[in-house]
Structure 1
């Protein structure tokens, strides 16, 4: 049982957007005129809205910054062919987590599954009304998570599991990984040192510090019908490979509004709270780490959603005195 939950944790905490097995209609193709206008306007107002490759300079430290996804897709092959050789030319590769942190997480979760599970007090069926629980249980079953296991998950963790469309499950189980792991392989082959931008348990700690009622609200608001989840994943992946980083982030607001018409303000407040914790807080911490990097050349590979925006990694680096430009290598 402990190993099962650890495997689920590794899938949930290291998986990112989607995979090529999620096919069909893109959410971009279903947007109303109002939704399309919102997306265009939001992206136009967002600093560093487009692009996966950036260069940042601060004194005698130069960084190549790469926006990644954390799961496999054949379209990554030409990307790694282009940027992979650069790993051997830098002094260090900075990542959200290196193999060291991933191994620490696996061992820690096997030893103490209580970091993800409800180990005392009421379980989820006891905290939720019957209709809501049955909806969640059905969604969990569709993702190969038995309801008895889902009932013991902390609300934030089940939210992550349900955010994975069922079309992704087979790929995640296969162990195929995304661009960050491709870059790790390049670093291992080249002997380039790797550094983690944060401890392995950062995400767990940020989620776990949220009050239980906030976690339950997140769980209620984040349950997406599988067809809409798949459309979102297709759009996110297509948008990623087109470098539309701001737009693919804003898609979540459109999905939330479609799902929570009557509770849109409350849903927005919940997601804004988690956006602050999971993106802004981490981005600021990463800047502190990068300020201590160098001198020399480094590569920074982080999820593409961390790059754009007023509190995105790129803008925060600029505010710290770095010169940030599109990478022209």
Structure 2
């Protein structure tokens, strides 16, 4: 989730031609299109995922205390309830840990603006040379809707393309118009800075460039192909994601993406499952494991000063056997779900 916020900001920083004006995002909840049997199948796929439901949690171990907030990276008025509930907790915290703070976001944007080769491959085969004519036509059409001309898309690195496909064109227009995603992450940071609470990043600013190393050329193209179905109705996908998040069911959207790719990507189920495993490992699991040490260290240092810490990151990093909550639990932490106003997190 947070990776998408990075990429959105970078597309803007690099000056791609996104319109300065645009209407508010409008779409439909795609869950409503599913048959009862399909919806039951989708929910069954999440049933055995640890901590699959809920956005706000507390982890305690001895005198150490961590408040964990699963975030959504775009603006929504429903974030107000979250900030009302956890703002005072941030004010009293020893530190706020986030995926990337203002310093990291600035360094990342500057690096990519200075060195376009980080996302552009000017020497290798172009994407139209690597894809079928039909797939390339679908791709450049989707990317043009996001302000990326076909000639530019043809030279983009596949990981950048696949992530951009997951962002709603309407959201890109809105961010361009406002200059900020306005998401919960930024609201947490603003609150911490106002209270003089230090903000620290969970990972280095350049982590994004190492996430997709080691992929074969075929895996890179399959990654794009598996992202294509959702790109065709990304505004609807964005609405679906948002509603799933605010009911505390954010893992549903991950499984929905899998089922949607089964039906529409042209890949076999085995190929889709392979892509999903690869994406989960690179975008979530590896990073989750790397975050545990800095979280535990910060919590121990805070406890020495009689304080707790707050950690905010994309909600998809919370669930699963390799999610942050399970990893903390395996490390001896007691995990408890925190409530907010009724209906705010689906409890």
- Partner of 1:17 in structure 2? none
Is 2:239 aligned against 1:228? no
For residue 248 of structure 1, report the CA deviation from its aligned partner: 2.6
- Partner of 1:285 in structure 2? 290
> Any idea what SS the aligned residue of 1:57 has?
strand
Distance in 1 between residues matched to 2:108 and 2:132, nearest whole Å? 33
For residue 250 of structure 1, report the CA deviation from its aligned partner: 1.7
Distance in 2 between residues matched to 1:199 and 1:209, nearest whole Å? 19
- Partner of 1:16 in structure 2? none
| 1:271-318: CA deviation from partner (whole Å, max 9, x where unpaired) | 211111211111111112212123321000010011111111101110
- Partner of 2:324 in structure 1? 313
- Partner of 1:15 in structure 2? none
Q: Relative to 1, partners in 2 of residues 1:36 and 1:289: Cα closer, same or farther, differing over 3 Å?
A: same
Is 2:26 aligned against 1:23? yes
- Partner of 2:18 in structure 1? none
- Partner of 1:184 in structure 2? 189
Is 2:75 aligned against 1:72? yes
Structural mapping, 1:213-292, within 5 Å: 213-224=218-229, 228-260=233-265, 263-292=268-297
Distance in 1 between residues matched to 2:318 and 2:50, nearest whole Å? 9
For residue 38 of structure 1, report the CA deviation from its aligned partner: 1.7
| Structure 1: stretches of 5+ with no match in the other structure | 12-19
- Partner of 1:300 in structure 2? 311
Q: Is the 8 A contact 1:87 1:93 kept in 2?
A: yes
Q: Is the 8 A contact 1:197 1:289 kept in 2?
A: yes
> What is the RMSD computed on CA atoms of the aligned residues?
2.2
| Structure 2: stretches of 5+ with no match in the other structure | 1-6, 15-22, 341-347
For residue 107 of structure 1, report the CA deviation from its aligned partner: 1.6
Which of these residues, 110, 115, 120, is aligned with residue 113 of structure 2?
A: 110
For residue 5 of structure 1, report the CA deviation from its aligned partner: 10
| 1:15-70: CA deviation from partner (whole Å, max 9, x where unpaired) | xxxxx943332111011233211222122212112111100012332000000011
Q: Is the 8 A contact 1:245 1:307 kept in 2?
A: no
**TM-score normalised per structure 1:** 0.90
Structural mapping, 1:96-245, within 5 Å: 96-173=99-176, 174-176=178-180, 177-224=182-229, 228-245=233-250
Distance in 2 between residues matched to 1:301 and 1:178, nearest whole Å? 11
Is 2:94 aligned against 1:91? yes
> Any idea what SS the aligned residue of 2:215 has?
coil
> Any idea what SS the aligned residue of 1:56 has?
strand
Distance in 2 between residues matched to 1:225 and 1:281, nearest whole Å? 25
Alignment length, in residue pairs? 318
- Partner of 2:64 in structure 1? 61
Distance in 1 between residues matched to 2:25 and 2:9, nearest whole Å? 25
Report which stretch shifted further, 139-148 or 162-171. 162-171
User: Runs (4+) of structure 1 moved beyond 6 Å?
Assistant: none
For residue 225 of structure 1, report the CA deviation from its aligned partner: 5.4
| 1:231-285: CA deviation from partner (whole Å, max 9, x where unpaired) | 3221110111111132232221122122135522212211211111211111111
Distance in 2 between residues matched to 1:216 and 1:75, nearest whole Å? 37
Q: Is the 8 A contact 1:87 1:299 kept in 2?
A: yes
Distance in 2 between residues matched to 1:9 and 1:168, nearest whole Å? 12
Report which stretch shifted further, 64-73 or 43-52. 43-52
Q: Relative to 1, partners in 2 of residues 1:80 and 1:170: Cα closer, same or farther, differing over 3 Å?
A: same
